[in-house]
Amino acid sequence: MWSSSLQAQWPGQPCDERLCSALPVRALIPVTAVCAGLFALGVVGNVLTVLVVCGQRAMKTTTNLYLSSMAVSDLLILLGLPLDLYRLWRSRPWIFGQLLCRLSHYLSEGCTYCTILHITALTVERYLAVCFPLKAKVVVTKRRVKAVIGALWAFALLSAGPFFFLVGVEQPDNHTDFGRECKPTPQALESGLLATMFWVTTSYFVLPVLCLNVLYGFIGRELWRSKGRLRGPSAALRERGHRQTVKILAVVILAFIICWLPFHIGRIIFINTQDTRMMLFSQYFNIFALQLFYLSASINPILYNLISKKYRAAVYKLLLPHRSAERAFTITKEAGGYTESSTSTRNK
C-alpha cells in the first residue's frame, strides 16, 4: 500500500542493518498489534463469507455473489499487510525481490478499485430491484451478475496496470545490499506519472461516492413512497427484504467511506507537501490511514453478521453442521392457523 511505502526516513530514527524504521519503536508496537488483529479477523471473516456463499445454495443470491467477490478482493488486500508491516519496521533492505515489490503494490491498487466498483454495481442492482422490480427480474440474473463481476475485475486490474511499473527495488550508488528499497522509481516521481495515478485513484473514490449518494436518494424516495402502498403478504415480504438488503449495503458503504477517506486525504497531502514539518505530519497521518485501510478490508463480515440473521444462520450451519441439523421445526395446527415450535432431534 502506497501510504506506508512512501514514508521517508526522518532524522533521529534508527537505520542500520538490524532496524530501519520510519517511526519510533514505541509507536510501531501498537500499530503492529492493531494490524495483526485486523489481519487475523479479516482473513477468517472473509474466508467464511466466501465459503458461506459458495457452499450453500440458499445464499447464492445476486447480492451475495457481489459480496463474496468483494471478500476475495479484501483477502488479496490483506495479503499485503505483512509486507507493509515489514516496510514500517525495515524500510530497507528489501529482501523479497523485484517481482513481489511490484506485484504487492499492483494488487493493492487493483483490489482497491475492484472493491469500489463492486459496491457501485451492487447499489445499481438494488436501485433496479427497488425502483424497477419487473425489469430487474428480467435483467438481473445470476449469469449476468457473474459476467459483470468478471468485467469489474478485468477493468480494475487493467486500470491499476501502470502502478506495476511505477515502483521497483532501488539500488543505491554504492551497490550495497543494505540500501535496497521497494519504493517509487525516480522516473515515476520526476515525470509526474505517480502524482497523476494518485489523482486517478482519488477519482475512483470521489466519483463512485457521488454516484452512490444519488442512487441512494432514489432508493430512499421509492421505499418511502411504497410504504403502506403495497398489499398482501408477498408484497410486504418483498419490501422487507429490500429494506434489509439496502440497510446492509448502506452500512457497508458508510464504513467504506469512513475507512478510505483518510487514505485519499493522506495521498493528497503527500504529493502536495514540500515542507519538512508537513511531511512529518503526513507520515504519521498515513500510518493512521493505513490502519483504517485494512480495517475496511476486515470489517464487512462483522457487519453482515451483526445485521443479517440469514448470514448468521449460514455461518452457524457452516461451522456447526451437526448442531444445525439437530434444530428442526415442527408445525402444530391450532385453532385458526399454524404455529412453529423448535424441537431437537438429538438421540437421547
Residue range 176-225, pLDDT digits in tens = 656 678 888 888 777 778 778 878 888 888 888 889 888 888 887 887 77
Domains of the chain: 2-307 (1.20.1070.10)
Task: Compute the mean pLDDT over every residue in the chain, rounded to the nearest whole number.
Answer: 78
* 152 vs 163: which has the higher pLDDT: 152
Q: What pTM did the predictor assign?
A: 0.80
Contacts of 266 (CB under 8 A, 6+ apart): 3, 282, 285, 286, 288, 289
What cell was used for 106?
499492483
Average pLDDT on 26-34 reads: 89
Q: In the structure, what pLDDT confidence band is assigned to residue 339 with cuts at 50, 70 and 90?
A: very low
Q: What is the per-residue pLDDT across 71-118, written as a single tens digit (0 to 9) for each?
A: 999 999 999 999 988 888 887 788 888 899 999 999 999 999 999 999
pLDDT of residue 5: 43
Instruction: Measure CA of the first residue to CA of the last residue in the chain; give whole Å.
Output: 56
Contacts of 297 (CB under 8 A, 6+ apart): 38, 42, 46, 74, 75, 77, 78, 115
Positive or negative: CA dihedral 2, 191, 265, 24 = positive
Instruction: Say if residue 322's pLDDT is above 60.
Output: yes
Q: What is the per-residue pLDDT across 273-307, written as a single tens digit (0 to 9) for each?
A: 667 777 777 778 888 888 999 999 999 888 887 77
pLDDT of residue 33: 94
pLDDT of residue 195: 75
Assign 176 to helix, strand or coil: coil
pLDDT of residue 153: 97
What gap in Å lies between CA 346 and CA 348, rounded to an integer?
6
Whole-number percent of the chain with pLDDT over 90 = 24
